[in-house]
Structure 1
Amino acid sequence: MPLPNRVRPDGTLFANPARGTFFGNRGGRFHDPENRTVPTRIQATQHWLCCVLSFKERRRKVWGRGYTELFFCDEVTALAAGHRPCMECRRRDALAYRDALVKGLGLAQTPLFPEIDRILDADRRIGRAKRTHPLPAETLPDGTMLLSGDGAFLALCGASALLWSPAGYVALRSRPEGLATVLTPPATLAALANGYRPLWHPSAQALAAAPGADR
């Protein structure tokens, strides 16, 4: 049985055989290593990271006594949930994300990452609940994740919206118009709008290349 350590775009945890393309954590352990069921807490600290699957040949016992290991379909999913690139294993991406965020938010000084974590924490949740943001769909950058009216997760990509699943993107929909329910935190939206390019699941490229994808 898979552990409930997969992350939906709204930040909730669930069990699924799909491993995903990125790994991460929320600053420490918040699961119970004895029964390893879905935690009642949602984080250990404000440091929500998105990491590579393999780094310096490190090996871990997942959901043991250490921190709570998490897995994401792709970086677009992780960013929507409220995570950011890890400064240790993804230093180049972390610095590019910060530079784009600083530009997008119009900050006079470049903040340390703990300050960015505080900004993201205010953006991504209200207590334990996911904070959503009603914004005009036409203004949103590629890589934004939306919650549709039918409860589906949609990632904006060009003229389309990609239907999310734990194992990748499974269908194309027309890009929404009007007011949208946005899951991606505003600080990350600012980074996406100012040059940060997240890494997508390979299925996104396959869908984009499919006939009719330019609709």
Structure 2
Amino acid sequence: MLKNRVDPWGALNAVPDRGTLMGNRGILHNENNEVIRPWTHKGWVTCLLSYKSIRRPKPFSAGNYSELFFLDEATAFAAGHRPCTTCQRERSKQFKEAWIRANVGTAGAGQHIAMSEIDKVLHNERAQRGGGKRSYAATLSELPLGTMFSIDSAAYLVGRSGYHRWSFSGYGEPEKLADDATVSVLTPASIVSAFSAGFVPAALVTSGQHSHT
């Protein structure tokens, strides 16, 4: 089983559950399909499982990027990935506009900011040397819809109906948590700012949270 399922901490796991989105960080595997590095570039993207007539080789093929999989877009954002500019062109444009509006100012002020510059900011917010995950402390009531955080080693999503515990197979029922609790925020700070500005992870826009299956 390949170690290619991404959790909200950005770690890669070998689990049987399937994801709804794909993504990559470059070639992470060796000739034995073992993950030997956490990333090879700063452009961590999230992709559609299928796009036009593109036929992808089997995951972890020689010379090809290491295909990673996510439960949903909220999980991908928490891990520090952003929409691909090719297969998710419109979604990527929406994200970039919201990110600039929230972190730079007016769209005009940031119109010349390249996605590569945003990637550098995201990389500083998400990754530690050696592959660890950066997080930061915040009060739970301050977190906008779509943000993911951890308490006692469990990851949660700020959903429309409350706080939902994350798992590879989906989200649990809403749980009661103290709004004044200090939590460890997993979603990178600049993405949280974009959420506060009105940008919402895709599944939360239309159909609410996934449930356990």
Aligned to 1:43: 39
1:83-94 equivalences in 2 (<5 Å): 83-94=81-92
1:49-198 matched pairs, under 5 angstroms: 49-60=45-56, 61-65=58-62, 66-107=64-105, 108-110=109-111, 111-127=113-129, 128-149=131-152, 151-177=153-179, 178-198=181-201
Deviation at 1:18, TM superposition (A): 1.2
Q: 1:44 to 1:93 in 2, by over 3 A?
A: same
| 1:189 partner SS | helix
Structure 2's unaligned 5+ residue stretches are: none
Q: Number of matched residues?
A: 202
Aligned identity (percent) is 36
How far the C-alpha of 1:159 sits from its partner, in A, is 4.8
What SS class does the counterpart of residue 110 from structure 2 fall into?
A: coil
Provide, for residues 70-101 of structure 1, a one-character-per-residue CA deviation record: whole Å limited to 9, x for no partner: 00000000000000011101111111111111
C-alpha distance after superposition, 1:104-161 (max 9, x if no partner): 1134323110001001000001212100110121111111001112x11100113511
Tell whether the 8 Å contact from 1:4 to 1:14 is kept in structure 2 after alignment: yes
Q: 1:184 to 1:145 in 2, by over 3 A?
A: same
TM-score normalized by the length of structure 2: 0.89
> What is the alpha-carbon distance in structure 2 between the residues aligned to residue 56 and residue 94 of structure 1?
17
User: What is the aligned-residue RMSD (CA, Å)?
Assistant: 1.8
Q: Give the distance between the partners of 1:172 and 1:130, measured in 2 at CA.
A: 26
CA gap of 1:203–1:109, structure 2 versus 1, over 3 A, is: closer
Q: Is 1:8 equivalent to 2:4 in the alignment?
A: no
Contact 1:170–1:203 (8 Å) recurs in 2: no
Query: Is structure 2 residue 17 aligned with structure 1 residue 21?
Result: no
Letter in 2 for 1:99: E
Partner Cα separation in structure 1 for residue 162 and residue 11 of structure 2 = 25
Report if aligned partners of 2:28, 2:40 keep a CA contact under 8 Å in 1. yes
Give the TM-score normalised by structure 1. 0.88
> Please, which runs of 5 or more residues in structure 1 have no aligned partner?
208-215
Q: Residue type matched to 1:3 in 2?
A: L
